[in-house]
């Protein structure tokens, strides 16, 4: 008989229960909430309804084959204006901050800063089905419109192969602490890390499926090739090389990235990323949870498979449970440090609307090498 699953892990700090509508709209900050059984049953019913009609197989194939084009189009339209810089990273993931303390690399959970998280009236902003953790920011990083410096993935493959032929000669090889962000987008995680963490031994790699996204990163005024290396990479192609060798990374960051990938390919991707970690290295993840606002807003005809949908712009998104993520990471040989569900209430005072967000945050560590 299989061992029972442990109870879902939730945030340990206090929760606010706002049930009186008159009081509710006095608040427009993020509040920690418990869902009632009725609320969860209603969300489950909504998902059953919007997933009752699956897209035909040929249409699903089209979205998979053209996935790169859809994300390129997304970044061509939005450039770096869609997501807000993620300065909350250092609260949730102290492993990314300067003066790292090993004792911090445990299940350390903190509340988000309302000021950094969002402007008040922007709470719950969803564009074209993208209900992001952050809303549009007023002050975006400036772009230098210059000749693109990126190369195609084919040229990158040749370049990395040549680098790997020379022992120890690869970007960031002399660094003492190496971070890789997968799915870097326009750099809203990478640049806060580079701005905040002045550790001289730090080197940050970042990659994205979208050539347009990597172009935005490399042409940003904050891009420093002595501390950062941005490259185009297809995670689903296990023949596509990374610029760094196995067991060379201290941290891999996955923020709203794994959910964009075909579910059948997720395990292979997590396995690949696990091999890049040093013993003791960690994967840090934050992604969409089951019954998040974004999932409930999908209409019939947008569902690809269970809990996997296509947005109006052709990009796709999956909504996880804690157990699903735990299976992915433990199957890859990693041990759980943190796996929690974060249910949040957003209140838009101007529109008199309440919206519920559900995210999952994880930290999984590669076991340390055994002592001889």
**Tell me: domain 22-96+170-366, CATH 3.40.640.10, correct?**
no
**Residue 188 token pair:** 């809203």
Rounded CA-CA distance 230/337 in Å is: 28
Among 17-21, 146-150, 159-163, which range has the highest average pLDDT? 159-163
Rounded CA-CA distance 40/341 in Å is: 14
C-beta of residue 286 within 8 angstroms of C-beta of residue 361? yes
Which pLDDT belongs to residue 190? Answer: 93
Rounded CA-CA distance 73/211 in Å is: 10
Classified as helix, coil or strand, 45 is helix
Residue 300 falls in which region: left (phi positive, over 0), alpha (psi -120 to 50) or beta: beta
258-279 pLDDT, tens digit per residue, is: 999 999 999 999 999 999 999 9
**Higher-confidence position of 182 and 354:** 182
Q: Can you spell out the DSSP letters for 13-26?
A: S-------HHHHTT
Rounded CA-CA distance 99/141 in Å is: 25
Q: Which of 63-67, 119-123, 207-211 has the lowest mean pLDDT?
A: 119-123
Domain ranges of the chain: 22-96+170-366
- Burial classification of residue 191, based on how many CB atoms lie within 10 Å of its CB (0-12 exposed, 13-18 middle, 19 or more buried): buried
**Residue 103 token pair:** 């004792």
Residue 256 falls in which region: left (phi positive, over 0), alpha (psi -120 to 50) or beta: left
In the chain, what percentage of residues exceed pLDDT 90? Answer: 44
């Amino acid at each position: 008989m299989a061992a029972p699953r442990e109870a879902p892990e939730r945030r340990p700090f206090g929760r606010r229960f706002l049930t009186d509508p008159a009081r509710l709209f006095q608040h427009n900050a993020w509040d920690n909430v418990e869902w009632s059984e009725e609320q969860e049953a209603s969300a489950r019913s909504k998902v059953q309804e919007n997933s009752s009609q699956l897209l035909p197989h040929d249409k699903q194939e089209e979205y998979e084959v053209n996935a790169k084009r859809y994300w390129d189009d997304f970044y061509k339209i939005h450039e770096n204006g869609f997501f807000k810089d993620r300065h909350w990273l250092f609260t949730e993931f102290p492993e990314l901050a300067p003066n790292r303390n090993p004792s911090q690399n445990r299940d350390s959970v903190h509340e988000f800063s309302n000021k950094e998280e969002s402007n008040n009236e922007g709470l719950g902003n969803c564009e074209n089905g993208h209900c992001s953790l952050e809303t549009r920011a007023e002050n975006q990083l400036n772009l230098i419109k210059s000749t693109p410096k990126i190369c195609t993935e084919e040229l990158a493959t040749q370049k990395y192969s040549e680098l790997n032929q020379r022992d120890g000669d690869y970007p960031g090889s002399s660094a003492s602490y190496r971070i890789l962000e997968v799915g870097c987008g326009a750099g809203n995680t990478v640049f806060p890390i580079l701005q905040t963490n002045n550790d001289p031994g730090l080197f940050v790699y970042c990659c994205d499926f979208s050539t347009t996204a990597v172009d935005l990163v490399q042409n940003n005024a904050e891009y420093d090739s002595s501390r950062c290396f941005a490259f185009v990479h297809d995670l689903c192609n296990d023949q596509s090389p990374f610029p760094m060798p196995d067991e060379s990374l201290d941290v891999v960051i996955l923020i709203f990235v794994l959910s964009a990938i075909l579910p059948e390919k997720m395990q292979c991707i997590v396995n690949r990323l696990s091999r890049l970690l040093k013993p003791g290295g960690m994967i840090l993840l934050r992604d969409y949870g089951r019954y998040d606002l974004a999932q409930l807003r999908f209409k019939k005809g947008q569902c690809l498979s269970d809990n996997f949908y296509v947005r109006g712009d052709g990009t796709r998104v999956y909504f996880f449970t804690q157990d699903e993520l735990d299976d992915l990471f433990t199957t890859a040989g990693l041990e759980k440090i943190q796996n929690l569900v974060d249910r949040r209430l957003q209140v838009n005072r101007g529109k008199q609307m309440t919206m519920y967000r559900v995210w999952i945050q994880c930290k999984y560590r590669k076991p340390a090498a055994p002592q001889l």
